[in-house]
Chain A
């Protein structure tokens, strides 16, 4: 069965420091992995995805994520956090034979000035 885990409910980072939001997944076939961000009182916005190719994927707002097949992880990273990055972040996975996205529970990212 497909599943996604975001082990941290909340991540606190000081502005200017690097940030990491963790995501691990479980699928039977090839994974397609996605990160979305939700700002307060707004819908979800697509950040980046891994389909195939380079394990390091770059996305919007300076975010990147690294696909690690052996560790079944797809952690979201940013070299220098901004206060405006504070939001709810969701990881999602789709198996290549399935149309449905499986969503993580979300991680609240708080960036303190």
Chain B
């Protein structure tokens, strides 16, 4: 079946502009995660959605970052007033309903954001 998709694959924006990144998870997956990965580095957790529960926003680096998930499926990560330090690859992952943590996450190809 289809995997996790993300769009756009690349985004170049000017400092101060707002950007929206989209994630379409695997059908039936109720858990959705956003991560940030700087060049050649590890993953930085941003936000987690599980079904209709309130999201865990503890990883969002500032109030310029927000995310929503509509209808329990597609998610949008919005970065307002982008800064150069926001440049990174933004990864989305989804997994089956979390019951005891045994399910692996499936990742999309990522969106490479460059702020000039």
Chain A residues with Cβ under 8 A from B101's Cβ? Answer: 32, 94-99
A100, CB-defined interface residue at 8 Å: yes
* A90 interfacial by beta-carbon distance below 8 Å: yes
B41 interface contact, C-beta 8 A: yes
> Contact: A106 with B42, CB < 8 Å?
yes
Interface size range of chain A in the complex: 20 to 34
Residue-wise, chain A 77-101 has the 8 Å CB interface mask toward B (1 for contact) of 0000000000010100011111111
Taking the complex as formed, is B43 at the interface, i.e. its CB lies under 8 A from any CB of chain A?
yes
In the complex, what distance in Å separates the CA atom of A28 from the CA atom of B43? Answer: 22
User: Is B20 part of the contact surface with A, judged by Cβ < 8 Å?
Assistant: no
Interface: A22 (CB within 8 A) = no
Within 8 A of A (CB), among B67-116: 91, 93, 98, 100-102, 104-110
Chain B's interface size range is 20 to 34
| Interface-central residue, A97, A98, A100, by most chain B CB under 10 Å | A100
Q: Which residues does chain A contribute within 8 Å of B106, judged by CB atoms?
A: 46
The reply to whether B42 and A103 contact each other, CB–CB distance below 8 Å, is yes
Which residue in chain A gives the minimum CB-CB distance to B4?
A43
Which of chain A's residues has its CB closest to B43's CB? A103
B40 is an interface residue with CB less than 8 A from chain A: yes
Binding site for A on B (CB under 8 A): 4, 31, 33, 40-43, 45, 48, 50, 56, 91, 93, 98, 100-102, 104-110
11 residue pairs bridging A and B, Cβ less than 8 Å apart = A43-B4, A43-B108, A44-B91, A46-B106, A49-B102, A95-B101, A97-B101, A99-B48, A101-B45, A103-B42, A108-B40
